[in-house]
A and B are shown apart, each in its own frame.
Chain A
Amino acid sequence: MRVAVVRFPGSNCDQDALHSLRDDLGIAADYAWHEDRDLSGFDAVFLPGGFSYGDYLRCGAIASRAPILDEVRRFAREGRPVIGVCNGFQVLCEAGLLPGALMRNLSEKFVCKTVWLQAGNRSSLWTRGVPDRPIAIPIAHGEGRYLCDEDTLKRLQDRDLVAFRYVDRDGRRTPEANPNGSLDDIAGILSEGGNVLGMMPHPERATNELLGGTDGRTILSALLAVRA
């Protein structure tokens, strides 16, 4: 198993992602460049957070048209693990690999803190190791309000494709626990096949006790179980 951490101009969580995968989880990982057209030799893709292309036009819009996205699409189609965190989630939505869009936080403020998440699905490639209790994962975003049309929301709900919802420490869904005004308290969603995960919270920032917690391991360690 070898993970490609894709760097776009303006990515700024790429080093965190690489460090978390390699040093905290013991998973082989290397950088890939947004202009690369060949990801052979890799088995999974990590689209990190940041401000790709300066968030010009819309968050993730330009990155989602980058040459490497053809390979990311191939990975998604072939059932390989693809994760987009924060800006990476925005890229996946802009690319049409996940439905919906991420809009400005309802508060109009950049929110940087640790939140609690409850898994809405615990059987997919990405979520089968996540415990049935709230997990603590940091967020840091200004545009994380998930939105989609009613039909899409119903499909996400009916097929258990809502990966994570914002909850409070006790697992209750309250307006206060939702940091950005996301529809249905959605923090992350899965593709139909369950192999593509997009989420605003940063699991790669929660894989080491020294950095405040290890709940992110329950998500990223899914890669350890995937056969290369």
Chain B
Amino acid sequence: MTTVRVTVTLKPSLLDSAGRTVAGSLVKLGFDEVKDVRIGKVIRLQLETYDEARVRAMCDKLLANPVIEDYTIEVEP
């Protein structure tokens, strides 16, 4: 069994309104070193067999929206 971690993030050029709100809240809590927050999604897949091309296809077909999101694929040790 292979565990694969897919991390989906908004494209850097897009405004992350949720991240901006969280950043504002952190600063209000006194963490004024916070300059920016970006929020993404982590999707962990348990796979019987691992084929990177197939995981990439899963991302392209469903897990990420290429119009607004980027993704990375990592195999967990």
* Closest residue of B by beta carbon distance from A104: B17
**Chain B's nearest CB lies how many Å from the CB of A2?**
32
Cross-chain contact B17 with A105 (CB below 8 angstroms):
yes
The reply to whether the CB of A112 lies closer than 8 angstroms to some CB of chain B is no
Docked complex Cα distance between A105 and B21 (Å): 12
**Chain B's nearest CB lies how many Å from the CB of A95?**
11
Taking A108-B17, A108-B18 as contacts, is the C-beta distance between A101 and B63 under 8 angstroms?
no
The reply to whether the CB of B14 lies closer than 8 angstroms to some CB of chain A is yes
Cross-chain contact A58 with B65 (CB below 8 angstroms):
yes
The 0/1 profile, CB within 8 Å of B marked 1, for residues 95-107 of chain A is 0000111011111
**Chain A's nearest CB lies how many Å from the CB of B10?**
8
Docked complex Cα distance between A93 and B68 (Å): 12
Q: Tell me how many residues of A have a C-beta within 8 Å of chain B.
A: 21
Cross-chain contact B62 with A65 (CB below 8 angstroms):
yes
Contacts of A145 in B (CB 8 A): 17
Taking A103-B14, A147-B14 as contacts, is the C-beta distance between A61 and B65 under 8 angstroms?
yes
The reply to whether the CB of B67 lies closer than 8 angstroms to some CB of chain A is yes
Docked complex Cα distance between A93 and B66 (Å): 12
* Closest residue of A by beta carbon distance from B21: A108
Q: What is the interface of chain B, defined by CB distance below 8 A to chain A?
A: 14-15, 17-18, 21, 61-63, 65, 67-68
Q: What is the interface of chain A, defined by CB distance below 8 A to chain B?
A: 57-58, 61-62, 65, 93-94, 99-101, 103-108, 145, 147-149, 181
Of all A-B residue pairs in the complex, the 3 with the closest CB atoms, nearest first, are A101-B67, A101-B68, A104-B17
